[in-house]
A and B are shown apart, each in its own frame.
Chain A
Amino acid sequence: MASVTLSGIRKSFGATPVLHGVDVQIDDGEFVVLVGPSGCGKSTLLRMIAGLEETLDGEIRIGDRVVNRVPPKARDIAMVFQNYALYPHMTVRANMAFSMRLAGRAAAEIDARVNDAARILGLDDYLDRFPRQLSGGQRQRVAMGRAIVRDPQVFLFDEPLSNLDAKLRVQMRTEIRALHQRLRTTSIYVTHDQIEAMTMADKIVVMNAGRVEQIGAPLVLYDDPANLFVAGFIGSPAMNFLPGRLAEGGAVVLDNGGRIGVASTAAKPGQAVTVGVRPESLEIAADGLLAEIVVVEPTGADTQIYCTLAGRDVNVVSRERHGFAPGQGIRLRVAPHKALLFDADSGARIR
């Protein structure tokens, strides 16, 4: 096991810049998720760590070693690919043994390690099958088995669950986490799915357009986003945003004249801002702002109420069961410390 340190990583493909200086510190044994929209450079970063893409600008360290010029096989990493990349002409056993065969390990040791990994992953009965004879979930496990047998310093995962159906994805998510609890190998996991990131990560790195937007524990990102992008990306249903202008006395005046009290101290009166409120932070109260209900969706545990407030779509999640009907007006209120403030131009958080 080892830490991984990325400093000042830049990357361009031809004239197209893809990464604009990425700095991330990943501690020994940590499970870190790189999350961001499609095309933001997550895979590129992971492939640079693996050594599949050249790193000309910046520095990648695994443990104490700078690995910029180290070939993939000497980096002591294992990677799980999105489409599994199982060798189709080899059995599950041969797939898992391939790297050790190449390294010239003894047959007895190879057997023992493959059997160990197969037991951990519940693949004992499938060792002599070919990948085409396995289901998606089983292939996924073989891909992980292939990584486990190598006992590497770092596991790299590139969207390993995106080819599975929703139910299996939830199950494999738990399995990968459980595996990490057990092996404690430093893991870097790439996904575009913020729920995967929230549920699996010790630490999340939110990326956007080749930059790191914020790094932190899942709930820190949820409660205390550094900017509009992170606030909007993390959380489902997404955070509500209401544009307005800061008035004297710690309140924001919305476009329709409604006022929201905020707790921020750094804000200057007159500044154009965006107020961010989580759906569950909106309370239904008689002294709140008037909104009009569009759709009511009870899910059993809670109720989602879609409405419009000051011309904006606003989403409310309420634990209580109301007899609301579309078209009806309701009044919404938010506690000042739950109303996050962002600069309308830069999107940066105003604390």
Chain B
Amino acid sequence: MAADYLTSLPRRWVTIYIPLIVFLIVLLFPFYWMAITAFKPDAELMSATGNPFWVVQPTLMHFRKLLFDTAYPTWLWNTVLITVSSTLVSLAASVFAAYAIERLRFRGSRQVGLGIFLAYLVPPSILFIPLASMVFQLGIFDTRLALILTYPTFLIPFCTWLLMGYFRAIPYELEECALIDGATRWQILTRIILPLAVPGLISAGIFAFTLSWNEFLYALTFISASENKTVPVGVITELVEGDVYHWGALMAGALVGSLPVAVLYSFFVEHYVAGMTGAVKE
């Protein structure tokens, strides 16, 4: 009955397509706006006449300014380096943490699991003050290392918590069977658990990547030199001069900056979706 209701064509429009289209427009309009602004010449951008939703004379001048008149390429490289490093560090730490909490069942493992979850709830806007003092004392202020080491403070709790769910879904018997088959803990982790938790690893990796790629607060407070900045901070601090917004270059910077994440998502989208629905494939 329910299937019939959903499958007759006019009804499908009402129940599925129209809501989806509305949803897509709301979601995608900012991206569209960003994209056309990046390609508009300044004159067209400031003009009060004409159709604001279209580009008449597309130009690459904002991209040229971005690449040759600012440190944008350096920011991009910094962002890649910091994001990849902190994601890898966080994933590695989270795998061990989640496995230990879920499967080694040491005394107090439940409390540790809960503690990690609570740590995730502490907002970065509170945490950055003590972290700043630690960054100073370690002498890594205004280096990329400052971000590579601080990003895991919010990435590890998140990834651990996510991976715990995946590990929990893997039947105990598999590990016991492997134990009888002669596997060590390490071999169980690398040969049984990790291959089965690949969707979880991908989800965690993508989340960690996106969170650190877009991170703003720590990048703003722990970095001051232009050549150490990341894309989100660099674009905001150096393309807004006083009250002058270089809208074209800003949008071009945002556009280029969001491409890697978009590529990553589209590359892993199938795994990602499978991961989100919690399907540990049998």
Binding site for B on A (CB under 8 A): 50-52, 71-73, 77-79, 81-83, 85, 87-89, 98-99, 102-103, 131-132, 146, 150
Contact yes or no, A52 B179, CB < 8 A: yes
Q: Tell me if B's interface is mostly helix, strand, loop or mixed.
A: helix
Contact partners of A99 in chain B: CB under 8 A: 180-182
Given A88-B281, A102-B182, A79:B196 Cβ within 8 A = no
Given A85-B171, A88-B282, A89-B196, A79:B180 Cβ within 8 A = yes
The distance in angstroms between the C-alpha atoms of A17 and B187, with both chains bound, is 34
What are 16 A-to-B residue pairs whose CB atoms are below 8 Å? A50-B180, A51-B180, A71-B179, A73-B179, A73-B183, A79-B176, A83-B173, A85-B171, A85-B173, A87-B192, A88-B281, A88-B282, A99-B180, A99-B181, A132-B282, A146-B181
User: How many of chain B's residues touch chain A, expressed as a range?
Assistant: 10 to 19
Given A72-B179, A85-B176, A98-B178, A132:B171 Cβ within 8 A = no
Tell me if B60 is interfacial: C-beta within 8 Å of chain A.
no
* A103 CB → nearest B CB, Å: 6
Contact yes or no, A72 B281, CB < 8 A: no
Interface residues of B in 160-216 (CB under 8 A from A): 171, 173-174, 176-183, 187, 191-192, 195-196
Contact partners of B191 in chain A: CB under 8 A: 98
The distance in angstroms between the C-alpha atoms of A89 and B197, with both chains bound, is 10
Contact yes or no, A87 B174, CB < 8 A: yes
Given known contacts A73-B180, A131-B282, what 6 new A-B pairs fall within 8 Å (CB)? Answer: A50-B176, A52-B179, A88-B196, A88-B282, A102-B183, A150-B181
The distance in angstroms between the C-alpha atoms of A85 and B183, with both chains bound, is 15
The distance in angstroms between the C-alpha atoms of A103 and B181, with both chains bound, is 9
* A62 CB → nearest B CB, Å: 13
Nearest chain A residue, comparing its CB with the CB of B187: A102
B176, B177, B281 — which one has the most chain A CB atoms within 10 A of its CB? Answer: B177
Contact yes or no, B181 A98, CB < 8 A: yes
Contact partners of A88 in chain B: CB under 8 A: 196, 281-282
Contact yes or no, A89 B180, CB < 8 A: no
Determine which of B173, B182, B282 lies in contact with A81 in the assembled complex, contact meaning CB atoms within 8 Å. Answer: B173
Determine which of A85, A89, A103 lies in contact with B195 in the assembled complex, contact meaning CB atoms within 8 Å. Answer: A89
What 1/0 mask marks residues of chain B from 231 to 260 whose CB sits below 8 Å from any chain A CB? 000000000000000000000000000000
